[in-house]
Amino acid sequence: MNAGGARQDGPMADSMPLPRAPKVLAIVQAGGKGSRMGALTADRAKPALPFGGTHQLIDITLSNVANSGIGSVWVSVQYQAGSLDEHLQHGRPWDLDRNVGGFRRVVPDEVDAVRTGGFAAGNADDLYRIRREIEREDADVVVVLSADQIFALDLRDVIAAHLETGAACTIVTTQVSRSQASDKAVVITDATGKVTRVAEKPENPESTTISAEIFVYEKDALLSGLDKAEKATRPDDGKGEDVVDETGLGDFAEHLLPQIIADGPVRTYPLEGYWKDMGRPELYLAAHRDLVRGVVRVFDDVDWPMRTLATNRGAARVRAGAVVAESVISPGCDIAGTVRGSTLGPGVVVREGAVVEDSVIFDACVIEREAVVSTSILDANVAVRAGVRVGTSSAGKRAHDDAIAVVGHDSVVRSDVVAGSQIDPGSTVA
């Protein structure tokens, strides 16, 4: 109405204020020690492991977050944090180095050391240790993601579905085999799609639907769930006194998600397309097998780029007489031998007569003349001397830890390394 009481006509007369877009905080959990990866994580955080030759695992998660338009991103890292810092560049490769919001690295044991000293014991425990920082953040929605998995997902779609259903938490799910489900958090729903419970690594899983380690939380529901679950699981020293350096929360499916399921509706969002985590050497090698076969398409969409800190190496060189088949070759490689079904990181040298098959070779390794590397993972700067054999033959490969030879960085291999061996970093195999 105008000052005289007459009706005001025009295009703005019937307009309503547009709803405010939700404020979103993404927390990328870069994990702890990753002990199941053996020699590969002796001196690095698991998300710092290379993937596809040119990227690190954490690049995949950060690229999905950045491509989804989320501008406030935290990376929570404890173990070997320095192995990630140089690569992360304060979020610059993902255009997250901003004055408002942007990139921030948080270290849980420093944030809340008085109450819960030491490393976090699980993903839920990790969130509990930074809960005060989350509480102070101006956010409506908190997206929590693991940093050691391969996937492509527009998180805007997940957030929209989360808000539409009014869920306290939305769990992004994927389908795996029944045997794989026994090593994951299995998600059980009712006929309406509402989550009724979650089971952490069940011996006999009743479903093959698992958490893809991507969650969208309503902020207050997350903080309330953390507080209630911590109080319910607070360890006792047997004398009626709390143990102050532990929370007992563990991973999400142990206590936090059951608490949130009890308090409010929890829904699922199915992830379509490829997903695999990198928890063990055989899974890491399997993902690279998928990559060279063209099953993994995360690098193929120019409109959904997987960004990383660029290498300054020149183009790869394939010499006369070399054979390269179904492989990923990174910049700076020099190949005079044979490479089949493998991924080579930057600067790898394969001499004449050498063979690399069904393997992942990190940057700056040298495979000398007549050496054979098969069904193996070689960390950076490994030298395999002439005529030496590392790993199984391709005819004998099996997708088990004991079939994969893993050689730690800066090692020199002067004699054969059998399948299933774990060579510590800096070793000389004589």
- Rounded Cα distance between 399 and 294, Å, is 19
pLDDT at 32: 62
Phi/psi of residue 217, each to 5°? -110, 140
Q: Which of 70, 73, 50, 69 is nearest to 60 (CA)?
A: 50
- Rounded Cα distance between 64 and 300, Å, is 14
Q: How far is CA 372 from CA 40, 201, 292, 389, in A?
A: 20, 38, 19, 5
pLDDT at 318: 97
pLDDT at 91: 84
Residues 6+ apart with CB under 8 A from 352: 319, 321, 336, 337, 369
Q: What is the pLDDT along the chain (430 residues), one digit of tens a residue?
A: 344 444 344 444 455 565 678 899 999 998 666 678 999 998 888 899 999 999 999 999 999 999 999 989 998 876 666 777 778 877 888 888 776 677 777 766 544 444 444 555 678 888 998 899 999 999 999 999 999 999 999 999 999 999 999 999 999 999 999 989 998 999 999 988 899 999 999 999 999 999 999 999 999 999 999 999 988 887 654 545 545 445 678 888 899 999 999 998 999 999 999 999 988 899 999 999 999 999 998 999 999 999 998 888 999 999 999 999 999 999 999 999 999 999 999 999 999 999 999 999 999 999 999 999 999 999 999 999 999 999 975 554 555 556 899 999 999 999 999 988 999 999 999 9
Residue type, 245: D
β-pairing, 185-189 vs 195-200, is antiparallel
Q: How far is CA 311 from CA 50, 306, 347, in A?
A: 13, 14, 10
3-state secondary structure of 427: coil
pLDDT at 114: 44
Residues 6+ apart with CB under 8 A from 223: 131, 134, 135
pLDDT at 112: 43
pLDDT at 176: 93
Helix (H) or strand (E) holding 226: helix 219-233
Cα atoms in the Cβ-side hemisphere of radius 13 Å centred on 130: 26
Residues 6+ apart with CB under 8 A from 109: 78, 116, 117, 118, 119, 120, 129
pLDDT at 12: 46
- Rounded Cα distance between 415 and 427, Å, is 12
Q: Which residues of 299-321 are buried (b: 16+ CB within 10 A; e: fewer)?
A: beeeebebbbeeeeeeebeeeee
Sheet strands side by side (includes 317-318): 317-318, 334-335, 349-350, 366-367, 383-384, 412-413, 428-429
- Rounded Cα distance between 405 and 325, Å, is 22
Residue type, 167: A
pLDDT at 408: 96
pLDDT at 235: 61
- Rounded Cα distance between 347 and 366, Å, is 9
pLDDT at 77: 79
pLDDT at 45: 85
Q: Are 47 and 339 in contact (CB under 8 A)?
A: no
pLDDT at 156: 97
pTM over 0.85: yes
3-state secondary structure of 331: coil
- Rounded Cα distance between 398 and 96, Å, is 41
- Sort residue 104 into left (φ over 0), alpha (ψ -120 to 50) or beta: beta
DSSP 253: I
> Max Cα separation, the chain?
97
- Rounded Cα distance between 241 and 232, Å, is 14
Residue type, 176: V
Phi/psi of residue 61, each to 5°? -65, -45
pLDDT at 15: 56
Helix (H) or strand (E) holding 231: helix 219-233
Q: Which two tokens stand for residue 190?
A: 């009712």
